[in-house]
């Protein structure tokens, strides 16, 4: 199995992603993270990849118990020359998502048949979400949407990573690929 993880790591690097193998016991799921979605996010309710349109935090806690390993995936983008950071974030997270989804498909083909990606940011594959998702095959939710505390995860895993949310010169797209 170790070889199989190494293959996924190599594939992630080939796609231009930073990759870290983590134990899912390090993934902290907290109700207060989703609270920030419901009260404070200007996109709340607009995307079908996010609350209240997805599984609940409690449901995700149960799902997570069925996975033992995951890949933490990060792609950092230099955004120092960007004038409109929201437009840049929209474009960059779409690009990072495509790479991460390719890795999910690759993992499936390598025998991880329950491989499931938690994508960077809200889904923006369509300009607007319809009443029901028009592309459910690519619909994935972000880690925060199901209560994952990314900062807590990084600290608990002992990774020396700097996830600076307020640094608009270095935007990081972060995803988690659950593996089983
Ligand atoms: S695929 Fe389109 S409709 Fe579905 S969640 Fe994503 S943006 Fe919304």
How far does the centroid of ligand 1 lie from the alpha carbon of residue 126, in Å?
Answer: 5
Q: For residue 143, report the distance from its CA to the centre of ligand 1, in Å.
A: 16
Which atom belonging to ligand 1 lies closest to the Cα atom of 48? 5
Q: Which atom of ligand 1 is nearest to the CA of 132?
A: 3
- The whole-number pLDDT of residue 57 equals 98
Give the pLDDT of residue 49: 97
Task: Choose the residue to mutate in 43, 94, 119, 125 for probing ligand 1, maximizing ligand atoms within 8 Å of C-beta.
Answer: 125
pLDDT of residue 2: 55
Give the pLDDT score at 156.
Answer: 85
Per-residue pLDDT of the chain (180 residues; tens, 9 = 90+): 557 899 999 999 999 999 999 999 999 999 999 999 999 999 999 999 999 999 999 999 999 999 999 999 999 999 999 889 989 999 999 999 999 999 999 999 999 999 999 999 999 999 999 999 999 999 999 999 999 999 999 888 888 777 777 788 899 999 999 999
Nearest atom within ligand 1 for CA of residue 130? 3
Q: Residue 32 has what pLDDT?
A: 96
Q: Are 72 and 176 in contact (CB under 8 A)?
A: yes
Task: Write the DSSP assignment of 37-98 as a string of letters.
Answer: HHTT-TTTTTSTTSTTSS--HHHHHHHHTT--EEEEEEEEEE-TT-S-HHHHHHHHHHHHHH
User: Measured from the CB, is residue 139 less than 6 Å from ligand 1?
Assistant: yes
Is 135 near ligand 1, meaning CB less than 6 Å away? yes
Ordered by start, the domain boundaries in the chain are 2-179
157: helix, strand or coil: helix
Predicted confidence at residue 164, as pLDDT, reads 72
CB of 126 closer than 6 A to ligand 1?
yes
pTM of the shown model = 0.94
């Amino acid at each position: 199995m170790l070889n199989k993880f190494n293959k996924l790591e190599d594939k992630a690097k080939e796609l231009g992603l930073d990759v870290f193998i983590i134990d899912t016991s390090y993934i902290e799921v907290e109700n207060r993270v989703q609270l920030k979605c419901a009260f404070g996010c200007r996109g709340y309710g607009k995307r079908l990849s996010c609350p209240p349109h997805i599984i609940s935090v409690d449901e995700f806690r149960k799902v997570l118990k069925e996975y033992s390993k995951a890949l933490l995936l990060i792609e950092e983008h230099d955004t120092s020359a960007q004038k409109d950071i929201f437009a840049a974030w929209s474009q960059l997270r779409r690009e990072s998502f495509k790479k991460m989804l390719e890795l999910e498909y690759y993992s499936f083909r390598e025998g991880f048949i329950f491989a499931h990606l938690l994508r960077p940011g809200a889904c923006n594959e369509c300009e607007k979400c319809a009443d029901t998702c028009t592309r459910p095959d690519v619909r994935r939710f972000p880690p925060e949407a199901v209560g994952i505390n990314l900062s807590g995860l990084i600290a608990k895993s002992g990774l020396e990573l700097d996830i600076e949310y307020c640094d608009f010169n270095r935007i990081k797209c972060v995803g988690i690929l659950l593996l089983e």
